[in-house]
Structure 1
Amino acid sequence: MAKPVEDDSLWIRRFHPRPDSEVRLVCLPHAGGSASFYFPMSDMMGTSVEVLSVQYPGRQDRRAEPCISSIPELADLVAAALVPWADRPLVFFGHSMGATLGFEVARRLERDHGIVLVGLFASARRAPSRKRHETVHQRDDRGIITELQRLSGTNSQIMGDEELLRMVLPAIRADYRAAETYEYDPGPKLRCPIVSLVGDDDPKVTMDEARAWGEHTESSFDFQVFPGGHFYLASHQSEIVNAISDHVLTQLRLKPSQ
């Protein structure tokens, strides 16, 4: 297995390097999101877990690069970027589109590299096998902005700055296209545990759609509901950090007996 480079790669951001950590938590942003969305989670995480945040093309320091509007294509690239970081156990946390992407990356790591995650945390997203017909990516700019306002997922400062907003809209549109055109390809279940998390007032996912993540693993499954909407996690950072830490500790204790 290749050794990770000392500096962050094109795809990976380490806001708080923890060279002595036992596990690496890989965070995958939502549609239109950037690696910096997970800075607070990285800051709050204990020393035993090093947080890596994935940076998609077309935003922030990668704004000049073409956006990728296909989950399978994005998953291929993210999986390749993560292989060098798998010298320690990996756990994924993906929010919204990031949950679907995390699932597909986990499939590729298992299938192509024999890397089984410590766990996959799927936040605010229906299970891959649950399809909805959605066309937000086909709307004009105003229509996409209306959707963002409905979900309260974009920083209010950006929403009030038309120039900034127009800079990020291409990435948001590409991500929505990737998420909304995704087609689940049936295959083997993941070998890692899955934890599905959802807000109780999320318009983008029902309880049944979120609970259906349990159908995608041959390992353990847990389902957790929080007060809030699609971005419930903004108000529950400490609970989520604790849930991840507890899960990692439990899985590491179980590993020798498996």
Structure 2
Amino acid sequence: MTASEVDPGLWIRSFHPAPAPGSTRLVCLPHAGGSASFYFPVSRALAADLDVVAIQYPGRQDRRHEECVDSVEELARRVVDVLDPRPDQPVALFGHSLGATLGYEMARLMEQRGVVPRHLFASGRRAPSRHRHETVHQRDDEGILAELKALSGTDARVLGDEEVLRMSLPAIRSDYRAAETYVHRPGPPLSCPITAFTGEDDPKVTLDEARAWSEHTTAAFAMHTYPGGHFFLSDHAPALLRVISQELAPVAGGTR
């Protein structure tokens, strides 16, 4: 095990001071090719009530010299090890796309270790049991860039910067490999509630595939659908944040 695997400062990014001790920790998990900074606005909006942190995966930005992790289950293990979640601090998980699948595997691992997450928010991703055969990670660089442009998830200014692309493409390819080679292992459903967020026109997720998240929990399930494609959350962030705040309010408000 390398030092970077166990250094919380490399993995866990906190953009705003945490509220009172005991507040729910909301762990935000980026999409394929994404970074922790994607969740800065979420932290800013919810920091008064929640301890919002974002995870920085290896292989990008200030971690670009580290080896990428191209297995969802391995990445889940490393993140949970670094977070070291404990029963005395409620933890909720929010992930978009790849991050949603990662959040699910983290929740499974946490429950195996005796810590049930407060909530799992799964955005822009089909249920783990709904498999698609996808091979974006096997494309050449131009093919991957075409996929990113089609999903409208990356700023055009970044796509046009060759230097940034050279640094980013290995991480993007690795993340796509992790997402596309993931195979759900049968097992008991989660004990925590799941809320699914999805875009009406998301080419990566049908409404039925999003609704199938309900099969992965014995607790409450809800689904919220918004106009837009894969990155619908960029246009509907206030609505999503309201849902998150409402779901976590009992803990964030003092019933801890």
Same-fold call, TM cutoff 0.5:
yes
Q: Say whether the 8 Å CA contact 2:14–2:54 is kept in structure 1.
A: yes
Shift of 1:250: 4.3
Matched, 1:20 2:20: yes
| CA distance in structure 1 between the partners assigned to 2:231 and 2:216 by the alignment | 24
Distance in 1, matches of 2:239 and 2:86, equals 26
Residue 183 of structure 2 aligns with an amino acid whose one-letter code is E
Q: Are the equivalent residues in 1 in contact too, given 2:18–2:47 (CA < 8 A)? A: no
Tell me what 1:51 maps to.
52
Partners of 1:179 and 1:196 lie apart in 2 by 18
1:157 CA drift (Å)? 1.4
**Residue 43 of structure 2 corresponds to which residue in structure 1?**
42
Contact 1:25–1:50 (Cα < 8 Å) also in 2: yes
- Counterpart of 1:4 in structure 2 is none
Shift of 1:251: 6.2
Separation in 1 of the partners of 2:165 and 2:88? 39
- In the other structure, the counterpart of 2:66 is 65
Counterpart mapping for 1:56-205 below 5 A: 56-83=57-84, 87-112=88-113, 114-205=114-205
What does the per-residue CA deviation read over 1:126-176, in whole Å, with 9 as the maximum and x for residues that have no partner?
000000000000000000000000001112210111121121000000000
Matched-pair contact (CA < 8 Å) for 2:12–2:53:
yes
In 1: Cα distance, 2:238 partner to 2:86 partner: 25
Q: Which stretch shifts more, 213-222 or 232-241?
A: 232-241
Q: Indicate the percent of aligned positions where both proteins have the same amino acid.
A: 58
> Given that residues 99 and 125 in structure 1 are in contact (C-alpha distance below 8 angstroms), is that contact kept between their aligned partners in structure 2?
yes
TM-score normalised by the chain length of structure 2: 0.93
Question: CA 1:211–1:86 in 2, change beyond 3 Å: closer, same or farther?
Answer: same
Aligned residues: 249
Per the TM alignment, residue 197 of structure 1 is displaced from its structure 2 partner at its CA by 0.4
Q: Deviations over 1:28-77 (max 9, x none)?
A: 00000000000011111151111110010000111110001111111110
- Asked whether the equivalents of residues 8 and 14 of structure 1 are also in contact (C-alpha less than 8 Å), the reply is no
Q: Tell me the distance in 2 between the aligned counterparts of 1:68 and 1:250.
A: 35
Q: Name 2:228's counterpart in structure 1.
A: 228
1:249 corresponds to? 249
Inter-partner Cα distance in structure 2 for 1:85 and 1:39: 25
3-state SS, counterpart of residue 10 of structure 1 = helix
Contact 2:133 2:180 in 1 (8 A): yes
List runs of 5+ in structure 2 lacking aligned partners.
Answer: 1-6
C-alpha contact (below 8 Å) 2:119/2:192 kept by paired residues? yes
Shift of 1:86: 6.2
Note if contact 2:122-2:195 (Cα within 8 Å) is conserved in structure 1. yes
| Contact 1:199–1:225 (Cα < 8 Å) also in 2 | yes
- Structure 1 segments (4+ residues) deviating >3 Å: 84-87, 250-253
CA offset at residue 19 of structure 1?
4.0
| Higher mean C-alpha deviation, range 33-42 or range 80-89 | 80-89
The alpha-carbon distance between structure 1 residues 158 and 132, as it changes in their structure 2 partners (threshold 3 A), is: same
| Structure 1: gaps of 5 or more residues | 1-6
Aligned mates of 1:86, 1:43 — CA distance in 2? 26
In structure 1, C-alpha distance between the alignment counterparts of 2:139 and 2:87, rounded to whole Å: 39
Question: Which residue identity lines up with residue 124 of structure 2 in the other structure?
Answer: A
What is the deviation of 1:252? 6.8
The root-mean-square deviation of aligned C-alpha atoms, in Å, is 1.8
Aligned to 1:3: none
Amino acid at match of 1:178: A
Maintained 8 Å contact 2:127/2:209: yes
